[in-house]
Amino acid sequence: MGIKNKRLLILIATCSIAGVVLGGTTSWASTNQCLQAKNLTNECLTQDPVTKTIQGMSVGLLAGAGAAVGAAFQMKRQ
């Protein structure tokens, strides 16, 4: 495996990890904010906070990996 491939994998892994952390944190904060609201909605009461956090983490993973691939493609074009 060449040095360029290793750099690309490190870039994708780093951006993916950052996406997972940010996506999970955002979903968790959104759930907490929903539960602390004055007027609770039915959606807020029926959703499992852990499931919603995992969904946010998976979206963050995809967004981070996509951003890394896009950045690498852009750098390669220049």
Give pLDDT tens digits for 16-58.
Answer: 999 999 999 999 999 888 888 888 888 888 888 899 999 999 9
Q: What is the pTM of this model?
A: 0.82
Radius of gyration (C-alpha) of the chain in whole angstroms: 17
CB atoms within 10 A of CB 22: 16
Element (H, E) at 55: helix 49-77
